Structure 1
Amino acid sequence: MSTLPETTTARKRSEALRQKYATLGEHEIWWRDHQQWLGEMGYMLRPRYRPGWKPSWEGKKIDASDCEDAVSLRYGALMDATRTADGKVVMLKKVVDTTHPYELEVNRLFSTEPIASHPKNHCAFVYEFLDVPGEDHVHIIVMPLLRAFNKPSFRTVGEAVDFFQQVFEGLQFMHRCHVAHRDCMDLNIMLDPYPLFPRLFHPQDTVMTLDHKALVKPYTRTRRPTKYFFIDFGLSAIYDPARGPTIDKPVLSGDKTVPEFQNDLNTPRDVYPTDVYYLGNMIRESFLQTYHGVEFMKPLVDDMVQDDPSKRPTMDEVMRRFEDVKRLISWWKLRSRLVNQDESGLSKVFRATGHAFRTIGHIATFRPAIPSIPN
């Protein structure tokens, strides 16, 4: 007697879920309403955001969650699109200049020559800046598709060293250009996915393929050379050194642990030491507290995250000290495996064996221990 009610309840839940997938959120409606204009600008949104869209699962006995057009936005201001000129997948970001007054200016600075092609520029490039018609303070920046810096995870010490080198020189370059990021936490550092995922992945569901029909797999289980980028300059600011020290009021970012902000959000402070803290704390949390094998970074990171901002090294000093540390790392250490701190004993043995065979292959094929540095 209980089967019928359970079946009815399950059917109702299934229908409610299908309806949920079929309903556009507020931010999604904004993008749908701008699809025609975006199309004229050369950018096509996915079927879900085209006028007149009907869910592909409508009237069919299929699971809506398996359908590509059920995938909604992860962040309302970020939309993926296809550039019609060449079929390239890009990301569109909605920027309101009254809320983030420096974001457009900072992006233009690092996306304009000669700075754009500078080898130490690790700020995500903007292909195009679009002014939204009828909305004076709303703009769209067109960026490349990027991926979280630690997806896939790091496998060797050399890969981690490559990452440290790039993010250190990237923030150093920003500071030399008189720009403070002010939010350079883990979520705002990404990688160029093309060397690792030549067939890409779904921009809003990155564990799935573009068509959302299968789990995505990297080109190789060992990282190839790739470049890392800073993104999201919504809290960033440009400072004119001719006007004096780089002092500004604190702003709350994604990392809430900044020591100088804990009890005082009113006193203006030098912005660069806070950037140094953000980057040091990211390395502390994402590497030193996650892996065995990068302990050589601890003295430098400890100084970067000191409670007293005046005692933290500048990014020029960070780079000098890092280069000294890097020179002392043996080639064998660079090729050694990063061991996750929560690995079990059996898992360690299994993974160490596989790593040993991969390392032999890398040495035999002259693959560099630090991916971005040729032999």
Structure 2
Amino acid sequence: MSEQDAILDRVAELAPPPEVLLSREVWWRDHQSWLKEHGYLLRPRYAPDWVPSWKGTDKYPMDCEDNVASLGGRVLDATRVSDGTMVLLKKTSVSDHPHEIEIGKYFSSEPLASDPRNHCVRLDEVLDVPDDPDLKVLVMPLLRPLDDPRFQTVGEAVEFLRQIFEGLQFMHEHAVVHRDCMGLNIMMDPRPLFPKMFHPRDRHMNREWTGRAKYYSRTKRPTKYLFIDFGISKRYSTQDLPILEPPHWGGDRTVPEYQNSQEPRDPFPVDVYYIGNMIREYFFQRFRNLEFMKPLVDDMVQDEPSKRPTIREVSVRFDSVRQKLSNWKLRSRLKELDEDMFTAFFRSTGHCIRMAYYVTTRHPAIPTPKP
């Protein structure tokens, strides 16, 4: 037996069998009945009397939906009983994240909730956990990572950037800093692309776990992008601005002004840096034909925060750049840096067919969702 095979065997011995809940799942099982009383149904795996569906059959566990464990202990999918809508449940500690609920309710209340520039995830409900007064369960829409499925055209990427600049400007105009707006905390509303949704644990499977989830492109079914996770966000009074705050780390640890310094800083330029660095990591390091964005992004990630444009200035400059892009450029395929010749040929051929269809059916080159 090779060393690699021995390691794999050892891992298999340590891994719990699929019929055993992981430690991070136990809390959800223990609160399943309480959540059901409030109108939210968890998957069968989390029922107190759960019996694995493959037991007593000739099915393999991997072929069964209830074999799949949750990814993390803080969040879990659920179905709202009243209308069958898939939602996300998130546990949050009020003492650890004192502003998350306040900011979520603020942007989810009228008139801000109906403002088309609002790109903050909607907070539908806050549940008080009965056996822990510090713990709340937030109910929100079930979203999907911003780049899954992948962007197909330059125009699709341009629309994503427009919405993100617009959304951050909206937050800043209302004196809210996100303080963690990296790529993982920007997601998309999957409903236009996935009208029948998908399985929350394996996004490539359909909701019924009977096959692949079918979806449309962003060009055919434009979608909206949303900021999530306001756990370390903060809202200020406009009278207090400008403000200086001690460094507060989010997931992106590359903020220049936070390196080797505890000096209070203006948190608003930090948000601008986060977005600029997200563009560098998610787009510049993956795709080759977004060169028109480089001068603006270079300014957004300057080491000296006072030299960065405000998010309002970013939006103005971006609009100017966008207006100069031709339809041909916008409809061009977003080319990945690591494509080999065969992959490039295959994707380009399919792209030409799709673009001919989109032009014929008058789908815009920049797929903007309706308000």
Question: TM-score scaled by structure 2?
Answer: 0.93
Q: Structure 2 residue aligned with 1:345, among 341, 349, 353?
A: 341
User: Does 131-140 or 166-175 show the bigger shift?
Assistant: 131-140
After superposition, the Cα gap between the structure-2 partners of 1:195 and 1:104, relative to the gap in structure 1 and judged at 3 Å, is same
> Is the counterpart of residue 270 in structure 1 residue 263 in structure 2?
no
Q: Structure 2 residue aligned with 1:372, among 356, 368, 371?
A: 368
Matching residue of 1:323: 319
* Contact residue 156 and residue 219 of structure 2 kept, 8 A: no
User: Does 91-100 or 246-255 show the bigger shift?
Assistant: 246-255
Q: Structure 2 residue aligned with 1:175, among 149, 172, 175?
A: 172
Q: How does 1:284-363 map to 2 (within 5 A)?
A: 284-363=280-359
Q: 1:337-358, CA deviations, whole angstroms, 9 ceiling, x for partnerless residues?
A: 1101111123222222221121
After superposition, the Cα gap between the structure-2 partners of 1:319 and 1:222, relative to the gap in structure 1 and judged at 3 Å, is closer
User: Does 210-219 or 164-173 show the bigger shift?
Assistant: 210-219
Tell me which amino acid in the other structure corresponds to 1:212: W
After superposition, the Cα gap between the structure-2 partners of 1:282 and 1:223, relative to the gap in structure 1 and judged at 3 Å, is farther
Matching residue of 1:27: 24
Matching residue of 2:200: 203
After superposition, the Cα gap between the structure-2 partners of 1:308 and 1:350, relative to the gap in structure 1 and judged at 3 Å, is same
* Contact residue 191 and residue 227 of structure 1 kept, 8 A: yes
Matching residue of 2:230: 233
Q: How does 1:244-255 map to 2 (within 5 A)?
A: 244-255=241-252
Q: CA deviation at 1:244?
A: 4.2
Matching residue of 1:106: 103
Q: CA deviation at 1:275?
A: 0.4
Tell me which amino acid in the other structure corresponds to 1:20: P
Paired residues, number: 365
Q: For 1:15 and 1:161, locate their aligned partners in 2 and report how far apart those are by CA, in whole Å.
A: 48
Percent identical among aligned pairs is 53
Q: Structure 1 residue aligned with 2:142, among 135, 141, 145?
A: 145
Q: For 1:16 and 1:69, locate their aligned partners in 2 and report how far apart those are by CA, in whole Å.
A: 21
Q: For 1:204 and 1:353, locate their aligned partners in 2 and report how far apart those are by CA, in whole Å.
A: 32
Tell me which amino acid in the other structure corresponds to 1:353: T
Q: For 2:241 and 2:252, locate their aligned partners in 1 and report how far apart those are by CA, in whole Å.
A: 27
User: Does 350-359 or 103-112 show the bigger shift?
Assistant: 350-359
> Is the counterpart of residue 51 in structure 1 residue 48 in structure 2?
yes
Q: For 1:346 and 1:180, locate their aligned partners in 2 and report how far apart those are by CA, in whole Å.
A: 45
Tell me which amino acid in the other structure corresponds to 2:333: R
User: Does 22-31 or 67-76 show the bigger shift?
Assistant: 22-31
Q: CA deviation at 1:67?
A: 1.6
* Contact residue 123 and residue 231 of structure 1 kept, 8 A: yes
Q: CA deviation at 1:373?
A: 6.5
User: Does 56-65 or 35-44 show the bigger shift?
Assistant: 56-65
Q: Structure 1 residue aligned with 2:255, among 255, 258, 280?
A: 258
Q: How does 1:106-125 map to 2 (within 5 A)?
A: 106-125=103-122
Matching residue of 1:36: 33
Tell me which amino acid in the other structure corresponds to 1:307: D
Aligned residues: CA RMSD? 2.1
Question: TM-score scaled by structure 1?
Answer: 0.92
Tell me which amino acid in the other structure corresponds to 1:320: V
Matching residue of 1:216: 213
Q: For 2:141 and 2:354, locate their aligned partners in 1 and report how far apart those are by CA, in whole Å.
A: 31
Tell me which amino acid in the other structure corresponds to 1:325: V
Matching residue of 1:154: 151
Q: How does 1:131-142 map to 2 (within 5 A)?
A: 131-142=128-139
Tell me which amino acid in the other structure corresponds to 2:325: I
Q: For 2:25 and 2:205, locate their aligned partners in 1 and report how far apart those are by CA, in whole Å.
A: 21
After superposition, the Cα gap between the structure-2 partners of 1:305 and 1:13, relative to the gap in structure 1 and judged at 3 Å, is closer
Q: 1:310-367, CA deviations, whole angstroms, 9 ceiling, x for partnerless residues?
A: 1110001000100110111111111111101111123222222221121111111111
* Contact residue 182 and residue 253 of structure 1 kept, 8 A: yes
Tell me which amino acid in the other structure corresponds to 1:370: I
After superposition, the Cα gap between the structure-2 partners of 1:244 and 1:368, relative to the gap in structure 1 and judged at 3 Å, is closer
After superposition, the Cα gap between the structure-2 partners of 1:230 and 1:13, relative to the gap in structure 1 and judged at 3 Å, is closer
Tell me which amino acid in the other structure corresponds to 1:312: R
Q: CA deviation at 1:15?
A: 8.7
SS at match of 1:130: strand
Q: For 1:239 and 1:282, locate their aligned partners in 2 and report how far apart those are by CA, in whole Å.
A: 25
* Contact residue 159 and residue 223 of structure 1 kept, 8 A: no
Q: Structure 2 residue aligned with 1:63, among 39, 60, 64?
A: 60
SS at match of 2:89: strand
After superposition, the Cα gap between the structure-2 partners of 1:222 and 1:240, relative to the gap in structure 1 and judged at 3 Å, is closer
